[in-house]
Structure 1
């Protein structure tokens, strides 16, 4: 089965957790797309939820499908969030941010009771880092941060959108770095990165995940922390 279909398999398993009356966080990305479409069908069939979107793109899609969108401030706390990941290891640690929504995704995850990550089989890894780690930065500091990251041997590359600088929904920059050769614990690396002024957030999600659903062909495997 293709990766795209595996994404749909994982998404359809995850939406079984969604019940009427819940406040639901909606992730961003190609796998989350299937989840949002499935919830849209459930809403058409009578599901009553309120949702918080992790990106402008997700908000537009959800509204087009009849899903009621509220702000995180209005929600205060979410019952469940379903989102994808670029990599996930056996310790429920993730790299996220390939779609550029890592800041909102981490804020939403922090304010959620049950975080469910849905991935196809290609995203399951024994070690994080083959996928470049996104780091969100304030534009005022980006070039100086790149110099610091070069000194850390992280091979930083500023993300572009065509021939223009990529901008997040919060109008920040993203720098993608190579952490494959880092020997230090990921928690130490994250702490070291976030100590650099101008770095807003990293794509390391080390402690927020409660459930991982991995699609393997036509079946899905769920693991709970």
Structure 2
């Protein structure tokens, strides 16, 4: 059996948890309808469908560590020519938010919420919980680490959460385990409209994948010719 280990690296972190569906409660509601109402019934209970229940309880739930209102991020990738000041460049472009990503920069505007999650790092310096990642996405640092077995992968799955998109992603064990030294796990999110999240609210799901899942191939069996009912050769 593969073991996954989560560990809080910050006091505010909300470590992922295993989702559990209350089958007993759902069945009790069905029985109460049958016993109390003349017409109202729950004829097909999702809790009695094993594939559905397995899907609900698959993986681990990622939860927001803070209460924050996110808004869509309008970012612009820019370069800073030699001898030019980055602040002056940002002012000229009408963008006060400047974030260096590699050799280039991402310039943002009207995104003050990006600083609401600034937290004290392990060395005492302030660090950003939200870091622009390009194409309207933000890298969300969650304050916890994960350790998964070698030759496995961690898939980040979106939830049906209005206003917040979570790009589907697959991360190798090497990358996941190395994140511990870089402040822990992060996921990408893209606010599609102003959305308020509360501490502890589910925002994504993690699913452990075996390497064979990514190497799997599929083949289509040729269609068999239909039986025309002639029964063989004629005399």
Q: TM-score range by the shorter chain?
A: under 0.3
Tell me the TM-score normalised to structure 2 length. 0.23
Write 1 or 2 for the structure with the bigger share of strand: 2
Query: Which has the larger Rg?
Result: 2
Tell me the TM-score normalised to structure 1 length. 0.24
Write 1 or 2 for the structure with the bigger share of helix: 1
